[in-house]
Amino acid sequence: MAEISAALVKVLRDRAGAPMMDCKRALQETNGDMEAAIRLLREKGVAGAEKRAGNETPEGKVGYRLGQDGKQGTMVAVGCETDFVANNDEFLAFAKKVLEVVEAAGPGAEKELEDERARLSGKLGENIVVTDSARFEAVDGAKIAAYAHPPRNKIGVLLQLRGGSDDLARKVAMHVAAMRPKWIGREDVPESDVAQEREIFLASDEVQSKPEQAREKIVEGMLNKRFFGANVLLDQEWIHDSGKKVGDALAEENAEVLEFERFELSA
């Protein structure tokens, strides 16, 4: 077998746009024949994978799986470039495999499928990337719920709820999907974020046009409605009943949201 130098591997990588290790293996299998190695990479569907790596992946699928006892939940987001590939059987099979790997070993385990991802990207002619992954383990007295927004399943939510019914847990997950909260409660919001918003509101023409003695109160009202009310889950208006907040709906069933993740595939 001919010696495969790093320089030769680099030449093949530049020409074929394939990952370094795939280039090295292709050269080894073809005894250093550059043209044969390129053909081999194309046959394996790897050629061009690196050239597509920077392409945006606004399409794809967010999928989840819950344990039968409701004590574990896993969610992944796998992106691609077009809706056509998002509904391709091989893409869906890969997304399912990613979900299974993360379910078994936790977030980060999807890296084990990197070679398979690169080959599939080459075969389907699009950048394919695992954009997010999460796995929750329920604490005592809690349950895991999930939701993927139909019909395209590009938005998904995984959350842990202590207390309350299964129906409430699913409704909260649907709410998170629709309303995009950043934090659960006000205590979760960094003080620096609150201070920044306060400064922005205070400097606005809307506030500066008011009497100085009234400005602080006006700013507090703006923070409550426009910042906390938009970004804090418990302060948001409940989508299932506009007459109450999420915090009110949870209190009615003595329930508490412990954690959540929201994944969305978009441009």
Chain region(s) in the chain for CATH 3.30.479.20: 59-186+232-264
The CA distance from 96 to 238, in Å, is 32
Which regions of the chain does DSSP assign to beta strands (E)?
59-66, 72-80, 129-137, 142-148, 155-162, 256-264
The pLDDT tens digits of the residues spanning 87-137 come to 999 999 999 999 999 999 999 999 999 989 988 888 888 999 999 999 999
Chain region(s) in the chain for CATH 1.10.8.10: 6-47
In this prediction, residue 55 has a pLDDT band, given cuts at 50, 70 and 90, of confident
Classify 183 as helix, strand or coil. strand
pLDDT over 90 percentage in the chain: 76
The DSSP symbol for 64 reads E
Question: How many residues belong to the chain?
Answer: 267
Per-residue confidence (pLDDT) for residue 213, from 0 to 100: 92
Cβ proximity of 101 and 93 under 8 Å: no
Classify 189 as helix, strand or coil. coil
Q: What is the CATH number of domain 59-186+232-264?
A: 3.30.479.20
Of the candidates 189, 24, 202, 180, which has an alpha carbon nearest to the alpha carbon of residue 115? 24
Q: Is 18 exposed, middle or buried (0-12, 13-18, 19+ CB in 10 A)?
A: buried
The CA distance from 129 to 149, in Å, is 20
Per-residue confidence (pLDDT) for residue 42, from 0 to 100: 76
Q: Name the average pLDDT for the chain.
A: 93
The CA distance from 231 to 190, in Å, is 12
The CA distance from 111 to 114, in Å, is 5
Which one is the CATH code of 6-47: 3.30.700.30, 3.30.465.10, 1.10.8.60, 1.10.8.10?
Answer: 1.10.8.10
The pLDDT tens digits of the residues spanning 183-238 come to 999 999 999 999 999 999 999 999 999 999 999 999 999 999 999 999 999 999 99
Collect all residues with Cβ–Cβ distance below 8 Å to 152 and sequence separation of at least 6.
Answer: 83, 86
Per-residue confidence (pLDDT) for residue 142, from 0 to 100: 96
